Structure 1
Amino acid sequence: MKTENQSFGAEFILLGLFQYGQMNTILFVAIAVIFSVALIGNIILIHLIRLDTRLHTPTYFLLSQLSFIDMVYISTTVPKLAANFLSNSKTITFLGCEIQTFVFSALGATEALLLGFMSYDRYVAICHPLHYPMLMNKTICLSTVTCAWASSSINALIHTLYVFQLPFCKSRLINHFFCEVPSLLPLVCQDTSKYEYTILLSGLIILLLSFMGVLASYTRVLIVVYQMSSGKGQTKAVSTCSSHLIVASLFYGTTLSTYTRPHALHDPEEDKVVVGFYSIITPLLNPFIYSLRNKEVMGAMRRLLG
């Protein structure tokens, strides 16, 4: 069998999230509305945090980073998805597919690490409030966020470079609505079982460890909240943590099911729905979860509107 990579400079064909048919225009409008609302919601949240000095704290610095990630995250996949509803050509170039794979992988890993660090921020604020200025100062925040971005980008670059040097000598049809490592492996004409273990290992290190950090932080927070004598203090602590816990549950619940399962157990149709949830719905919900359930953010909004 001829195994050299014949795909460079060629195009892949994206089958999409739904079957294309007479509902294309309606689906395009729905996706465009979701994309616009998500983009505007995250931009407003970033803008509020930048303008209001009361929100210049480590907690809201991390939240602004999360909103930025969500904004780029949804911009990486949704415009192409929406365009395909109105286009007769569902193709994506080899280079475009490679860039999309790298950006999506890097942003997903960064968000996983960032959510873990945000739970640690809440743990320190509630369980060690007197040490908070020392444990969560500006230098520590910047260093942690920089490490998250750097390590995630390096991990994504390694996977992207490896996958795109493999021989794609099977069908060019990608059973997905964007380019992602798991969706590209069925197109490879050599055994990828060993490489799939490295994907599983990466998922366990980045996603599972971050998720375990979230669980450990909030377990400790719940214990401290339960021991509080003040009902008002309990309510404030639960309100502070609940938004982040909802966001973390949505993200980790879907990503873990995608990246910690062997390739043989993946169902392409099921994967598309799951990935669509954390790549489209989660970035849409995050700014509203954090703003509508957060008195400080709502207060900043009222001050901005006069």
Structure 2
Amino acid sequence: MNYEEMIKSHLADYKVKKLAITAPQTWRGGKKKYHYILPADQWDLNFLSQFRAESSKWIKDKEIKLHHSFHHLNSSQAVCFNFFYPLIIEGQLSLVLKILHVEDEPIEEWAFEKIMPGGEKTNFDFYLKLKSGKEILFEIKYTERGFGKVPASETYEKQFLNVYRTMLAGKIRMEVAGYETLAKNYQLLRNIAHVEPGDKRSLVFICPENNKKLHKEYQNVLDNLVMPALHQNIHMVTWESLLKRLKIQMEAEPNNLTKLADHYREFEEKYFPFQIDLKEENEWASE
């Protein structure tokens, strides 16, 4: 059983035991039924119980566009909301800076599904802008089998020639700076295209420690395609290490963060129930 299958099996049990929903659901009109999918009209049950009411209300009030698979219990968009939005509600978003070892300074802006300026339309799962002007772009992964690719086609080749060739100039090695490289590593390079050398913008990929395919693809792109000058701006961290660090930070806070602590215990129970031996990582340049 691979990582994706292991998680989906766990989430199927979670749906029955924690949400009391037993009926499997079809996907996009297909005949096969899946136990890890919620009924589409009960998408709000994908928010964890401590902040479910606030989260679903905010989504409706702000008319946030949810992914078509948001009602899947393994939705990475749901993982993203469940991780970041409770910190926002409780006024503790600055803990994200601490667990990423970023210099603590006021956060001026945060956003989900952030579209960066320039007309290129890439949207990032989460976004932070600090008082100094520094920006942190987040790409969230969970059970995905890899980063997004695109087929060779005239449409994407025109997009490369008209948009990405310029955006990626000086960021990837000249000998591989062609359309075929972009197509094979589309999502990674599309995200990396928004990063510039210097200290004003960082890109953070968050994925499970055991989703080895994501790690392998990321490392291949970083080692073989991206110019070394940009490496300090691009990082991959694991969910497991973030949760471990967050727990330490919450315990050190003078304020009572009991509700948040309960929430992240539930977060771990839902998304990362399997015991993993954590090793020291070196994902962030300042570590």
TM-score by length of 1: 0.29
Higher strand share: 2
Which entry has the higher C-alpha Rg, 1 or 2? Answer: 1
Which has the higher relative contact order, 1 or 2, with Cα contacts under 8 A spaced 6 or more apart? Answer: 1
TM-score if structure 2 supplies the norm length? 0.30
